Every structure is written in structure tokens, then in C-alpha cells.
Amino acid sequence: MRLGLSVLLLSLTRSCWCVPQQQTCHPGDEFLGRCSNSVAGDTPTCTELNLGYCNDMEYSSTIFPNILGHQSRLDAESGAEYLLLSVIHGLLNGECSPEIRLLGCSVLASPCKDGKMIKPCRSTCDALRKDCAHAFESIDMAWPYFLDCDRFFASDQEGCVDPLAGLKARQELDMSSHSHDEPSTIIQFIYTSNTQMYNLLKRTAAKCSQISQVYSIGRSTEGRDLLVIEFSKNPGQHELLEPEIKLVANMHGNEVLGRQLLVYMAQYLCSEYLLGNQRIQTIINTTRIHILASMNPDGYELAASEGHLLNGWTNGRTNAQNLDLNRNFPDLTSIFYRNRRSSHYRIDHIPIPDAYWFGKVAPETYAVMKWIRSLPFVQSASLHGGDMVISYPFDFSRHPQEERMFSPTPDEQVLKQLARTYADAHETMSNNDTERCGANFYRTRGIINGALWYSFAGGMSDFNYLHTNCLEITVELGCDKFPSEAELYPEWKRNKEALLSFMESVHRGIKGVVTDLDGNRIKGATISVRGIKKDVTTAEDGDYWRLLNPGTHILTTTAKGYSRVSKRVYLPHNLNKAGRVDFVLEKVPIEPDIDDYLFPTVDTWERFDPYNQFERFGEPDAREGGIERQQKPWWWNYFSQSGISPPNWLLRSV
């Protein structure tokens, strides 16, 4: 693509980027009356607009010579500027179309009235150049010279025409045609390439910079950004007691509907917030939302190259290393089953086994794990395709030999309600139609325990549940993994309310702050609920969130070196926001416990890639500064971090 673009631009430069040699006065200067190229007898007159790419302008007559000095329609059509307009849509991957073409046409064929040319408005040019700067930067292309806003455009005071006025009027008419209950945001329901997706998300964040930002959590195997767009009243910062949620799609590259829905949702949140939609403003002002539209952009690239009709069931499913990302996370579920009856081991916030790092860890998996660990996510949804159902953990069967076995987590009822929230708000997922996609799950109204459906280890949802506070559901959006573009808008209508309801559902259960007697917030305190063997921990600022169903709950909070405090809490059925329950702990002497040494749990959670195994995957065996880098043995960090000296026989082996 870049090579073809370079050849095109080079040919344009060699052919006719410059003005005709016989002219001594530039057309722009001539228009301003500074000089003249006119030959005696030349009289500019209005003529019918008949320029192929410009025949849909809002006016019907133009004038030659035009602003660029073309003496006739044939001169204009043979110029480099007209050629560029004919390919600009493809060069920019569909971005800024048709605006750029309409703006260019207003220069090549400006409107004519009473024998006089009316120049296009400089304000329109300035605004479009600002909006489209990212599109040109993405292909390393400069803003076209013949769209120089200062040189070829006029101010409002001088009298000018807005070449985009008709387009804007049609868009406003489309918006007004919606009823008050329908969204007034206009979204283009088409598939986007990776480049288009990045540009669209960046453009959306720039449009709503007061509530949005984009950031990268890493790169794919082939170097593509794993780009997240965030929405919050204070983007980039964690607000005390504000819950954080994440939406992830396109984990399997050929399951593309979720990717598009999340791109549309980002546009919708931004636009509706600016339009004053009270519901959207409430969601964004009270929640920090993170959207990763494509976790596997490399796989998508392969699937998209084959398109909707040719794409098979598995083409593009894996990443560029041929790894299934939803089988690539640490298998903590087996550890849970093995240790659940032992009082010595934690069955929540389970550390990542050291052995995991000696396997093949995908860069996409590594990036998402670091992301999950770095933010206090409360709940999450992973969007997939291939059926229509909501599944929830555990995904791995409690009996390894059983492919389909009900395998509940301690939070079975809470996760079930979370799944129910999405399924019931979806247009068709929970209905009784036995002929539709997903009809196998009509008896359970569109939800199922993951392992009861089919069992697999190394999934992202189980990892979220067992390694962090986050509760994640898996949303299977439909039987067609790569639906046609004609289906994108209907699918948006089916899922929009479900996605919004899911975001709102994070505001239930309880939340609070844990402090000491002096008001200092305590990080890492545990909050347990009687009857649910899954604790949550406080974040950096000492705040916590615990998703719970209505009813009476007994909560207990403690931290190392602090007292234990319990409270009874009643959550009514009609409570539409999380209840506030704070705890104040008193410092107490720390008593040595042999179990802390024999069964380490808490401290080992912080060990992430302790032997730099992932980093070493990408490091070439090269010399740095002429000195060969010596790798430390695999056991080095273990002894360094534990404070225990390695035995002499092990040291002699180095």
C-alpha cells in the first residue's frame, strides 16, 4: 500500500503539481487582483458544471479559468488534482469521504454567479483539515497543496460558499427523522480495517477529549496496536469509588461482529454525551469504561482479507503465532479445584504459576494480563461469535474427563444475574423461539455455565475471576461469525440496549473505603462475604466494589497488621445503586505464622513473569556493546526475591 502510494504521488509530482509554465501570475494571486495572465479578448463566463467526480455539488454552474488556472473542463480533468480526488477515498481507507472530495471540487469547479466566481469558505477548509489530519498522518501524506486554506479559500466577510452545507443539511435531516426515543447519533454501519478502526477511535477520543482518551496496552505479534478507548468524567485517572469495567472483542480474529459493535458503541457514547443524552451522561459520569475493540488485530487481518463470503469457521481465529488466545491464559482453575478444600491456600487471587512462563505466551495475552492486573476492574464482557448465548465461569470442568459438567464458581448466583442482565436486554437472546440461532439455550433463556456448555482450560474469563476481583461473562453474539455488512445495523439494534444495561449493572452490590483509625486508606485489605468463598481486595486508594444480589449479607474485612471487622448489610430489591459500606481497622501486632512461610500466597501474587521469560522470547542472542549478554539461570530470581541463599552446588553450576 505504502509503495503504491509513493509511486502515485511521485508520478503526480512529476506530471503536473506545478502550474503551467507559460503563466507568470499564479491564479490565486490573479484572483486577488495582484496581477493577470489574461490574454486580450478572454472573458470568463459561467458555464454548466460537467466534471465527473463533481457533478453532485449543490450548484450547477462553474467558471473557467478556475482558482488553479485550468482554462477549461478538459484542463481540469487532466490535472493531477483531479486525479488525486478520484483516488482519495482509497488512499485514506474511506476516512473523510465524501468531505475531502467535495472540498476539492469546490476549488476545481467553484460556483459561478453573475459571471463571477464564488470561492469556498476558509472556515470549512480549516475545520476539515483539523478533523482529517489523523487520516493523512496514518499514510504519511501531506495535506494537498491545492487545498491550502489560506491561499485558495475566502473568509466569510469576503463572501464564500460552504461546499459541505448540503451534506450537513442531509445529516441533520436524517437525525431529525428519528423519533425522540431513537438515537440521534449517526453511525456508518460498515466494516473497518485495522487502520480505519484506529483512526476512528482516535478521532472519537479527540472529539470528546473531556471524557475520553485512547491508550495502547501493547502490540500484537505482527506489531499492531492493542488500542483501548476509555470513557470517564476524568479520563486517565481512577476516581475514588468509581467502578471500572472493560469490554473486549475480536479475541478470535474471525469473530468480527463484537469488534464492530464496540467501535459503534464508542462513537455512540461520545456523540450522545455531547447531545445531552441524560442516560449516557450518567453512565460516563459515574463509571470508568475501557473498550478494547480488537484483541487480535492480526487474526482479523487474515479473516478480513477473505471477506464475509469466503471466510471459514477458523480462518483468522488464532493470532499470528497460531495460538488460540482464549486457551493461552494461565490455567488457574485446576489449581482452584486442587486447593479448594485446603485451609492453607487461597482460592481467589491465585498467583500465576512460575511454570506458565516457560510455555508459549502470546504478546496479546501478556498485554491483556498486565492490563487486567493494573486496573481495579469490577466486571467485564468478552464478545465472541458462533452461537447466541451468554456463558459465565467456570469454563473448565471440575472433572477433567467430563466435557460438559456444571462447574459453578462461589459467585454462581451473582454471575448468573450478570449474564441474565445482558440476555434479557437483548432483542432475541432470551425468547422462546426454537427456530432461531441459539435455540439450544431457550430453556435457560439464553444463558449457561461455561463448562456445562463445553469445557476448556486457559480461558480469559476464568483467569479474571481467579486472579483478580473482576467478574467476566462471555457474550456469544450470533451464529454467523462474519455477518454481511447488511446485518451490522440490525445487530446493533439487537445489542445496543444489552451493552448499556450491562454497563449500568456494575452499580449494584456494595462499595466502600477501608481506612485505619487515622483515616489512612489501606491497600490490599480483603473483604469477604459469608457463604461466598471469594474475597475481593481494596485498590491503591483503599476503595473496593463487591457485586452482590439483593438480600442480607455478612461482610468481614481485614488486612495484615490490622484487626478484623464484620458488618451485617441488607440490600433491598429496589436499590438502583451500590450501597456504601466503609470499614475502619485498628492496627494490631503481627504474630508470626508458620503458614506464611510454608504456604506463601499473598506476596507471590505480585510475581509477574519473574524470570523474564516473556521478555527473553523477543530478545535476540546478540552482543550488546561488544559484550555478550549473560542470561541469569532460571532459579536466580526465586532466591533473590525470597532472601534465601542458593546452595553451593547450584552456584557452581552457573
pLDDT at 106: 93
Please state, rounded to an integer, the average pLDDT across all residues of the chain. 85
Q: Which amino acid is located at 411 in the chain?
A: D
Strand-pair category, 244-249 with 288-292: parallel
Output 615 or 109, whichever has higher pLDDT: 109
- Given pLDDT bands bounded at 50, 70 and 90, which one contains residue 1? very low
- Percentage of the chain with pLDDT > 70? 81
Sequence-distant (≥ 6) Cβ neighbours of residue 474 within 8 angstroms: 381, 382, 384, 390, 391, 392, 395, 450, 461
Does the pLDDT of residue 412 top 50, yes or no?
Answer: yes
> Can you tell me the distance from the alpha carbon of 512 to that of 357, in angstroms, rounded to the nearest whole number?
35
Strand-pair category, 116-117 with 112-113: antiparallel
pLDDT at 611: 73
Q: Which among 95, 364, 476, 504 is annotated as catalytic?
A: 476
476 is catalytic: yes
Does the pLDDT of residue 651 top 70, yes or no?
Answer: no
> Can you tell me the distance from the alpha carbon of 328 to that of 625, in angstroms, rounded to the nearest whole number?
36
Nearest to 556 by CA among 514, 584, 528: 528
* Cα→Cα distances 145→129, 404, 642, Å: 12, 64, 64
> Can you tell me the distance from the alpha carbon of 402 to that of 139, in angstroms, rounded to the nearest whole number?
52
- Given pLDDT bands bounded at 50, 70 and 90, which one contains residue 453? very high
What confidence tens digit (pLDDT) does each residue in 496-516 have?
Answer: 999 999 999 999 999 999 999
Output 632 or 140, whichever has higher pLDDT: 140
- Helix (H) / strand (E) element for 651: namely helix 648-652
Asked if residues 248 and 295 have their Cβ atoms less than 8 Å apart, the reply is yes
What confidence tens digit (pLDDT) does each residue in 234-281 have?
Answer: 999 999 999 999 999 999 999 999 999 999 999 999 999 999 999 999
> Can you tell me the distance from the alpha carbon of 210 to that of 222, in angstroms, rounded to the nearest whole number?
32
- Given pLDDT bands bounded at 50, 70 and 90, which one contains residue 640? low
Does the pLDDT of residue 332 top 70, yes or no?
Answer: yes
Asked if residues 322 and 253 have their Cβ atoms less than 8 Å apart, the reply is no
Helices (H) and strands (E) in the chain — how many of each? 22, 22
- Per DSSP, 266 falls in state H
E strands in 441-588 = 447-449, 471-478, 510-516, 526-529, 532-537, 543-546, 551-558, 565-571, 579-580, 583-585
- Helix (H) / strand (E) element for 383: namely strand 377-384
Cα(first)–Cα(last) distance of the chain, in Å? 50
**C-alpha 646: how far from chain center:** 45
> Can you tell me the distance from the alpha carbon of 47 to that of 56, in angstroms, rounded to the nearest whole number?
16
Q: Which residues lie across from 113 on neighbouring strands?
A: 116
- Percentage of the chain with pLDDT > 90? 60
- Per DSSP, 361 falls in state -
Strand-pair category, 551-558 with 565-571: antiparallel
Q: Which amino acid is located at 191 in the chain?
A: Y
- Given pLDDT bands bounded at 50, 70 and 90, which one contains residue 88? confident
